[in-house]
Amino acid sequence: MMSMMYQAYQNHMDMAAPWRTGAASALKYLNLIPPDVSRQAFGRLAAALELISRSSLTYRRPAYAIKPVMVGNRELEVTEEVVFSTPFGSLLHFKKENSPEQPKMLLVAPMSGHFATLLRGTVQTLLQDHDVYITDWHNPRDIPLSAGGFSLADYTDHLIQFLNVLGPRSHMVAICQPSVSALAAAAIMSEDNHPARPASLTLMAGPIDTRILPTKVNDFAKSKPIKWFQDNLINFVPFQCKGAFRKVYPGFIQLTAFVSMNLERHVKSHVDLLDHLAKGETEKADTIKTFYDEYFAVMDLPAEFYIETVRDVFQEHLLPQGRLMHYDRPVNLGAVKRMGLMTVEGEKDDICSIGQTLAAQDLCTGVRTYRKVHHMQAGVGHYGVFSGRRWNNEIYPLLRDFVHVNS
């Protein structure tokens, strides 16, 4: 029965759609009334109608909305172009018009319950000094069964294909979860003497060895047998979708878990939103709406990829033990040579604790000591490693210089 929960959820959302549409239509008519009159007489009603119209998740990727970027003393417009694509993901290029030549960089986004647009701030900063590409993963609920499955090895294979498109002397930066696949891809390409192997690899807050100072996330992954995850978290995509009957870990279940961890904060945010809307405090309301537009844009995970990640990365720790396989081939981290290796961790990271990413430095015995860099950022949690003030002002300059030295 658990495997039909996604179908029941989708049926419920479809049944509630007329209520959301009706609320949006009523709000449109209220907005025709002069604001001063409307706010006094109908402020709370309008606010309630807007919250009702927004009471659903979206499965569409939000826009990156990258702003023009300063390169030297010139402001350059940024456009998006897909340069390579598979059913499961696109290699998206943020092209700067009339830009000087800069190091090519593949930014590897997590395949998690949210889209790669969560890294838009990271992209915006990197674009100052780099020619940036990103792994723009597609939502499995929109991918037909005929496209086949998607495993942890398939993820690694996509990184190899994407790097091949970028060509020689490019750089790879992996954020969080995909650090394992990024390191595996670097090892395989190094062992094969692949011409497009990365000139440098940066791993940021990634679970290379989760045996080190395990977090609550790590403990949960080990608290139950893998069959429990298969029986309780894997569902079929509803028949209404293009990916009907594909097995996934549904985004709405992931989001429910995230929200429950900070339920009081999310309830307060929506009470505040209601209050701001009723009072006409547009700027404050827009800040909250912008956050939740992204937060409630959810993405399913392919079942194979999710189960293998839990088992191989968090339960059995195959990579640090030298037992990870890429299809039928051992991943040999000792083969990683002739590239720079940078690891970055956050002091207050409660998802990927201190030492888990640093472990890559000891595992990559073939990288010369002078080409290894590690940085532990004081005062930041998981997201502060790749977004926000400390990322922009303290971490990014180190990453920029590391890439420059290895270009």
> Looking at residue 207, which CATH number applies to its domain?
3.40.50.1820
Count: domains in the chain: 2
Predicted confidence at residue 4, as pLDDT, reads: 73
Sheet with 340-346, edge to edge strand ranges? 78-86, 89-96, 131-137, 104-108, 171-175, 200-204, 340-346, 372-377
Q: For the whole model, what pTM was predicted?
A: 0.88
Q: Are residues 89 and 143 in the same domain?
A: yes
The first and second tokens of residue 236, run together, are: 């079929």
Q: Are residues 99 and 126 in the same domain?
A: yes
Place of tokens 């968090």: 314
Rounded to whole angstroms, the Cα distance separating 369 from 375 reads: 15
Rounded to whole angstroms, the Cα distance separating 223 from 392 reads: 37
Rounded to whole angstroms, the Cα distance separating 391 from 380 reads: 9
- Report yes or no: 373 and 402 within 8 Å, Cβ to Cβ: yes
Place of tokens 């080190």: 212
Q: Are residues 188 and 313 in the same domain?
A: yes
Burial class (CB in 10 A: 0-12, 13-18, 19+), 87: middle
How far is C-alpha 18 from the chain's CA centre?
A: 32
Predicted confidence at residue 279, as pLDDT, reads: 74
Out of 295, 327, 360, a domain closes at 295
Per-residue pLDDT of the chain (407 residues), as tens digits, is: 456 778 876 776 667 566 556 645 655 645 655 665 445 545 555 555 554 455 556 778 989 999 999 998 999 999 999 999 999 999 999 999 999 999 999 999 999 888 999 999 999 999 999 999 999 999 999 999 999 999 999 999 999 999 999 999 999 999 999 999 999 999 999 999 999 999 999 999 999 999 999 998 899 899 999 999 999 999 999 999 999 999 999 988 876 665 565 667 756 765 666 676 667 777 876 776 666 667 677 899 999 999 999 999 999 999 999 999 999 999 999 999 999 999 999 999 999 999 999 999 999 999 999 999 999 999 999 999 999 999 999 999 999 999 999 99
- Rounded to 10 deg, the angle between the 35-53 and 5-30 helix axes is 170
Q: Are residues 15 and 144 in the same domain?
A: no
**Paired residues of 105 in beta bridges:** 132, 171
How do 131-137 and 200-204 pair as beta strands? unpaired
List C-alpha distances in Å: 336 to 104, 108, 163, 190, 374: 20, 18, 16, 5, 17
Rounded to whole angstroms, the Cα distance separating 154 from 252 reads: 24
Out of 266, 295, 324, a domain closes at 295
> What range defines the domain where residue 284 resides?
2-56+251-295
Predicted confidence at residue 168, as pLDDT, reads: 97
Q: Are residues 362 and 321 in the same domain?
A: yes
Rounded to whole angstroms, the Cα distance separating 268 from 259 reads: 12
SS3 149: coil
Residue 173 located in a structural domain:
yes
Rounded to whole angstroms, the Cα distance separating 223 from 217 reads: 10
Predicted confidence at residue 23, as pLDDT, reads: 46
- Report yes or no: 38 and 44 within 8 Å, Cβ to Cβ: no
Q: Are residues 286 and 307 in the same domain?
A: no
Predicted confidence at residue 281, as pLDDT, reads: 74
Q: Are residues 19 and 150 in the same domain?
A: no
Q: Are residues 29 and 176 in the same domain?
A: no
Residue 246 located in a structural domain:
no
Predicted confidence at residue 51, as pLDDT, reads: 47
Q: Are residues 212 and 344 in the same domain?
A: yes
Q: Are residues 82 and 154 in the same domain?
A: yes
The DSSP call for residue 310 is I
Q: Are residues 128 and 76 in the same domain?
A: yes
